[in-house]
Amino acid sequence: MLEPTEHRALRRALEIAAHPAVPLGPNPRVGCVILGPDGQTLAEGHHRGAGTPHAEADALARATAPLPGATAVVTLEPCTHHGRTGPCDDALLSAGISRVVIARQDPNPLAAGGAQRLREAGIEVITDVPDELAEAAAALNRGWEHGLRHHRPLVTAKLALTLDGRAAAADGTSQWLTGPAAREEVHQLRTTCDVVLVGTGTARTDHPSLTARRPDGSLHRRQPLRAVMGTSETPTLSEIEGAGEEIRLATRDPSATLAELFALGARHVLVEGGPTLAAAFLRAGLVDELIVHLAPTLLGAGRAAVGDLAITTLAERLDLELVEAAPLPSPGGATDLRLILRPRTTTA
């Protein structure tokens, strides 16, 4: 059972692991807080990306007091393997750490086993943490963990639509279909993804910036890679200082797109394109999570939010599991509804 000081330390470790300066991609985000025998914080550390010290080593190097008898509180199980840096369990043992609190077991078979090795060395290891903290630790690296299991990025598709399933009016206008609260959520979502992906049609028609912005228009510190897939020629995306790098993927194949992005280190892709792109990923069974911002309005005609799914009969329908539904109040009284769904055929 966690001590109150360890509970607070684990919350802090999760916070620093998720710092916006920490890159996303093929390495997990990990935080570590070291507590003295009296419960006082002796050091904090976090992993800053490939080739940098792991969170435990970073924290140990920052400690300004003797560490024998101290407790290490970490968001992910200390590793056991030799990579660009040495095993974290060795570092903890050498420092004289006597207790280790772990929020999440390491799903990587090449690195797992640190908890068992520490126990065998006489260290007290605690893995039974409150559900909310365990869930936060899992959410911190869900793209990374998905990549380990499926060897492709986690795919989130985002749609904004009316009650009658329209993404734009008959004349093509679509701004703004949803209110400011929904739009702010989308920009925050972009900061949690490695890549924002659109098709050439959206790039050509909407000229999107694909940046993550705050309500005042300034850019968030963390910006996603901006990707356009398709074989048609399109103009370059808007050149904005601080925006993510732009990449072109000359294919219409969702699987090929994800393979290329995975090879580049991407572990979470946000599909923000139009109905054609959304339908392509849904048809391919490559959407792991669907986020819908539903506006309380009707258009009666206009562009559908999702293109042809090659479904010709009700028996072939694509059923979705509703994970969450929440209202998003906006000025003026209108309230959008955010739905988070998962296709029941997903491999996630």
Enzyme catalytic residues: 56
Distance CA 295, CA 302 (A): 15
Order of strands across the sheet that contains 195-199: 246-249, 225-229, 195-199, 268-271, 154-162, 289-295, 335-343, 320-329
Contact, 160 vs 271, CB < 8 A? no
**Could you say which DSSP state residue 315 is in?**
G
**Amino acid of residue 54:** H
Please spell the DSSP secondary structure of 153-189, one letter per residue.
-EEEEEEEEETTSBSS-TTS--TTSS-HHHHHHHHHH
- 3-state helix/strand/coil string of 126-163: ECCCCHHHHHHHHHHCHHHHHHHHHCCCEEEEEEEEEC
- 3-state helix/strand/coil string of 14-59: HHHHCCCCCCCCCCCCCEEEEECCCCCEEEEEECCCCCCCCHHHHH
Q: Which two tokens stand for residue 301?
A: 């005609």
Longest dimension (CA), the chain: 70
Q: Which residue has the tokens 């010290």?
A: 53
Q: In Å, how far from its chain's centre is CA 55?
A: 19
**Sequence-ordered list of residues with C-beta below 8 angstroms from that of 325, at least 6 positions apart, any chain:** 337, 338, 339, 340
Burial letters for 15-28: b for 16+ Cβ neighbours within 10 Å, e otherwise? ebbbeeebbbbbbb
